[in-house]
Structure 1
Amino acid sequence: MSALLTPLRLELRAISKRYPGTLANDRVDLRIAAGEIHALLGENGAGKSTLMKIIYGVTRPDAGQMLWEGNPVQVQDPAAARDLGIGMVFQHFSLFETLTVAENIALALGRDAGSPKQLAPRIREVSQRYGMALEPERLVHSLSIGERQRVEIVRCLMQDIKLLILDEPTSVLTPQEVEQLFVTLRTLASEGCSILFISHKLQEVRQLCHHATVLRAGRVAGGCIPAERSDLQLAELMVGDTEGLDACYPKRAGGLPRLRLDDLCWRNQDPFGTSFEHLRLEVRSGEIVGIAGVAGNGQDELLALLSGETRLPASERERISLDNQPIANLYPDARRELGMAFVPAERLGHGAVPDMSLADNALLTAFQQGLVEHGLVRSSKVLALAEQIIQRFAVKTPGTQATARSLSGGNLQKFILGREMLQNPTLLVAAHPTWGVDVGAAATIHRALIALRDAGAAILVVSEDLDELLQISDRIGALCSGRLSPLKNTADTHSAEVGSWMAGQFDTAHAAS
């Protein structure tokens, strides 16, 4: 389609926004036509999220003008944005964890939409129609990351909207769910709804979007028709340097077993959670094992059991071992003393404390690395570690005293990964290591994981990005309903086979190593 032949839905003129030490948006122009699917591309920290928050009324610009259907407007808050017909799905969730799915959606839609009980049938219908099944009565705190993302998307799709803003909407969806979502988005666009689509998955941008605007360092660096560019060309527009973006890493055979799960049986007390029966897994030194799966199939429970957030009784302590030492009943700090490092799925609030500085966040898990002596924090060493993480992993931030909340999602992810890797662990467990991360940052993270593997560490990566797992893993398997498929050499399998495992099509009799 041609935006020139259709009326403009949204126009931004010279939008600028400055934060202390950062010019997030620098005279940004953006035009979106009615019925257009428009991609906004850029590295982490390029200013995409700030611009979206300005459109949605979360943030006020310092300068510039916004026009809605040809008329100047000032969007004071998200309620005003929704009144105009603007809906947004945030990358970081904005849900109340102690409320149900239906209660969260009812709050967003307002009093006129009906009570949570009245909305429940419609929530089921909409979520099933879009391939993102939800139970309206479930409490949000019991949902996995992928399921929470589904709530955000469904909540937005239930509104009568003219502009739908999607920030990394497919990052926790299966390929089948992505395909169904794209069908829905194309239908919405054909009916005149405009869509602003933010994604680091360039193949999806090329497949879905009519036009793209590229931001770099807060400024518009250019635009294009994505279908006319390759993934590598789009990446070059975003980051300027394509080195390592299409790397093919050699596969390695692991050495001695480091992490072992031996016939692990665990009953989840949460009626909506996932339990495990006879789970077997082995991760060896010098290898990366990838675990794929659709959100809600036991990934969160497995990660909690491995990290020590969930512990087994002493009688079951040998069900999980690290270097032949039973650890299933140990607390997280005791496991770290034995050489384990952990990157959780949720960055803010789990991987980092939002309002604490990067230096203090470095101290949180690395305090056993000589940062505390005789009960006193060695501030100079803490600052040196934080600075080392920032430099080694190219974290874009004003400095070590910046709060974790102030970083973009990708830069915070690089900081958390860097903090764990620089502790030289013998075992690294990483959940969704490049979720919502731009192509340049993903390449940096992948190279770091491969380097840690080559140094002899055992690495377990749990991810819903199948392409990522096939790229970096030496062996791969999948979780489905708490069952783990056999692990297979990545070089000897393909995405279709792993996809069938994700759907539960495997024989657990041979699952383990």
Structure 2
Amino acid sequence: MADDLAVELAGITKRFPGVVANSDIHLEVRAGEVHAVCGENGAGKSTLMKILYGMLQPDEGTIKVNGDPVRFKNPSDAIKVGVGMVHQHFMLADNLSVLENIVLGAEGLHGIGAKARKRVAELAKRTGLNADLDIALEYLGVADRQRVEIVKVLYRGARIVILDEPTAVLVPQEVDDLFDTVRQMRSDGFTFIFISHKLDEVRTIADSITVIRRGTTVGTADPKTTSSRQLAEMMVGSELPSPETRESTVTDTAVLTVSALRLAESGSARAVLDDIGLVVHSGEVLGIAGVEGNGQTELVETIMGMRRASGGTITLDGRDITKLGTLARREAGIGYVAEDRTRHGLLLTQPLWANRMLGYQTRKPVSKGQWLDIAGARQDTQRIVDAYDVRTPGIDVAAAALSGGNQQKLVVGRELSGDPKLLIASHPTRGVDVGAQALIWEHIRQARADGLAVLLISADLDELIGLSDRIVVMLRGRLVSEEDPATVTAEDLGCAMTGSAPREATQ
């Protein structure tokens, strides 16, 4: 049966200073299958995939591709033998066309003219990419961007494709479309390695599963006979968490009030946000659902003062903050979990205790009057590490040394430690494992019970439905509907988010 293996990793070990990321990992992926790799954040999945893709080299172990021993010095070596990787955070240039993004860096394969265009068109048809090849990437939705990434990998000759968290930003209908594409390509002989934290999706698309825990392989599973709860048990030693919030804690006290908010596109009269009005009460989680690119990011950044509103008002706890700067708004009582923690949430090169200070440098426990309190920051950072199970060798390591999930737990811990009146949580569990997800959900639930107002933006519709007291849907910069989490389904939300009718209504 070894002749059927597209990928064989044996005894893979990778050490970093103070950390063993991979320890004697074994992985076998058969040709023409979708093989899922599951594990909690920090389990070593990303390190293992970077080794397979040539971004890192193992300290020990062997790699075989299609039965042949290989040793990749860089991703170019991996691509040469047919291994490609679609990263969770797309590696694309918004100002280039679809065609240019795909061909860039691979001009030697088919040139930049008619031959290249013909090959890209063939691959676009195979993957369901229907976008104009000459349109600028910035005009594409997230699902089409992902297809551009897949075409880009295939254009370079990949037959073994690593998909890293491919459904993280997709609505249910887009996930279905992606899975249809993967199944079609699998029937054409392509092999996929599928990395995901969404266990129900893993069981839907995968032919086989390998589970990694704390840097080593703990077993394999058959998705046809293994439940999500059993997979969670293998991954983290606990049952699959649920975001469900049962009892209501909503009060009549309005904490955040947004009235007639408008944001014009830079240099244009076109409205990115148009007549937005919403209220979030003490003890309430208001969820915002929407396909990425429909104004959620701009709404959050306008409330935070990162963008200047063209019209309307923003009131926090009865105080007009419309003209205040970002720091003043944070000092007024807004906690902020940014959707991109590496851009707006952390200084990756700085130690954890320095990251504890971000946004709180004028307040206790990280300041004394006009002076920073380093000892106070260090002490409180250790408290957050302990309370939020941030897995780290210590508080002096750089934030970049932590896995994505542990970075997120640090950010959530910091923002909830500032005694906020309002927490803006933008994709708070994106890319984190089920254990970290459960912990973050529990802290949000507890803060809500203590009277915190929460504005929740998430692409995880089960998370939105489970945590929210109310849900509003954004489409093209406007709030188009309000949904009751007790009765709405993920499919209903997906239809509202895309402006389409429910499936039963179209039959």
Q: Give me the TM-score of the superposition, normalised by structure 1.
A: 0.90
Contact 2:3 2:67 in 1 (8 A): no
Which residue in 1 is equivalent to 2:328?
Answer: 334
Distance (Å, rounded) in 2 between the aligned partners of 1:144 and 1:356:
34
The match for 1:301 among 298, 320, 335 is 298
Q: Give the % identical residues.
A: 39
> What does residue range 90-489 of structure 1 map to in structure 2 within 5 Å?
90-95=87-92, 102-115=99-112, 130=127, 149=146, 151-242=148-239, 245-246=241-242, 248-252=244-248, 253-269=250-266, 275-312=272-309, 316=311, 319-370=313-364, 371-489=366-484
Contact 2:262 2:271 in 1 (8 A): no
Moved more, 187-196 or 368-377: 368-377
* Residues 455-511 of structure 1: per-residue CA shift (max 9 Å, x gap): 1111001111111101111101111111113333321433333223212369xxxxx
1:95 shift after superposition: 4.2
Q: Secondary structure at the match of 2:341?
A: coil
Contact 1:97 1:140 in 2 (8 A): yes
Q: Secondary structure at the match of 2:359?
A: helix
Contact 2:243 2:441 in 1 (8 A): no
Contact 1:40 1:214 in 2 (8 A): yes
Structure 1 residues 116 and 282, CA, compared in 2 at 3 Å: closer, same or farther? farther
Contact 1:274 1:481 in 2 (8 A): no
Contact 2:171 2:494 in 1 (8 A): no
Can you give the 5+ residue segments of structure 1 that lack an aligned partner in the other structure? 507-513
Distance (Å, rounded) in 1 between the aligned partners of 2:222 and 2:429:
26
Structure 1 residues 113 and 397, CA, compared in 2 at 3 Å: closer, same or farther? farther
Distance (Å, rounded) in 2 between the aligned partners of 1:381 and 1:170:
40
Distance (Å, rounded) in 2 between the aligned partners of 1:270 and 1:156:
36
* Residues 191-227 of structure 1: per-residue CA shift (max 9 Å, x gap): 2211100101111111111111111111101111112
Distance (Å, rounded) in 1 between the aligned partners of 2:269 and 2:179:
29
Partner amino acid for 2:387? R
> What does residue range 46-85 of structure 1 map to in structure 2 within 5 Å?
46-85=43-82
Moved more, 277-286 or 135-144: 135-144
Distance (Å, rounded) in 2 between the aligned partners of 1:190 and 1:249:
42
Structure 1 residues 384 and 143, CA, compared in 2 at 3 Å: closer, same or farther? farther
Q: What is the aligned residue count?
A: 499
Which residue in 2 is equivalent to 1:16?
Answer: 13
Structure 1 residues 496 and 54, CA, compared in 2 at 3 Å: closer, same or farther? closer
1:37 shift after superposition: 0.8
Structure 1 residues 259 and 377, CA, compared in 2 at 3 Å: closer, same or farther? same
Structure 1 residues 88 and 100, CA, compared in 2 at 3 Å: closer, same or farther? same
Structure 1 residues 100 and 498, CA, compared in 2 at 3 Å: closer, same or farther? same
> What does residue range 25-64 of structure 1 map to in structure 2 within 5 Å?
25-64=22-61
Distance (Å, rounded) in 1 between the aligned partners of 2:159 and 2:125:
22
Structure 1 residues 329 and 149, CA, compared in 2 at 3 Å: closer, same or farther? farther
Which residue in 2 is equivalent to 1:510?
Answer: none
Structure 1 residues 385 and 93, CA, compared in 2 at 3 Å: closer, same or farther? farther
Contact 1:274 1:298 in 2 (8 A): no
Distance (Å, rounded) in 2 between the aligned partners of 1:116 and 1:298:
36
Contact 1:57 1:78 in 2 (8 A): yes
Contact 2:263 2:271 in 1 (8 A): no
1:271 shift after superposition: 7.0
Structure 1 residues 133 and 89, CA, compared in 2 at 3 Å: closer, same or farther? same
Structure 1 residues 130 and 365, CA, compared in 2 at 3 Å: closer, same or farther? farther
Moved more, 198-207 or 410-419: 410-419
Distance (Å, rounded) in 1 between the aligned partners of 2:391 and 2:143:
27
Moved more, 98-107 or 330-339: 98-107
Distance (Å, rounded) in 1 between the aligned partners of 2:11 and 2:421:
50
Contact 1:132 1:177 in 2 (8 A): no
Contact 1:143 1:296 in 2 (8 A): no
* Residues 429-457 of structure 1: per-residue CA shift (max 9 Å, x gap): 11111111111111111111111111111
1:233 shift after superposition: 0.9
Distance (Å, rounded) in 1 between the aligned partners of 2:425 and 2:141:
16
Partner amino acid for 1:249? T
Distance (Å, rounded) in 2 between the aligned partners of 1:322 and 1:441:
30
Which residue in 2 is equivalent to 1:509?
Answer: none
Distance (Å, rounded) in 1 between the aligned partners of 2:267 and 2:434:
37
Contact 1:274 1:296 in 2 (8 A): no
Partner amino acid for 2:372? V
Structure 1 residues 458 and 134, CA, compared in 2 at 3 Å: closer, same or farther? farther
Distance (Å, rounded) in 2 between the aligned partners of 1:124 and 1:192:
20
Distance (Å, rounded) in 2 between the aligned partners of 1:477 and 1:379:
42
Can you give the 5+ residue segments of structure 2 that lack an aligned partner in the other structure? 502-507
Distance (Å, rounded) in 2 between the aligned partners of 1:203 and 1:235:
11
Partner amino acid for 2:339? A
Once superposed, what is the RMSD of the aligned Cα atoms? 2.7
Q: Secondary structure at the match of 2:344?
A: coil
1:405 shift after superposition: 1.6
Contact 2:243 2:467 in 1 (8 A): no
Distance (Å, rounded) in 2 between the aligned partners of 1:129 and 1:85:
18
Contact 1:311 1:331 in 2 (8 A): no
Contact 2:2 2:67 in 1 (8 A): no
Structure 1 residues 414 and 331, CA, compared in 2 at 3 Å: closer, same or farther? same
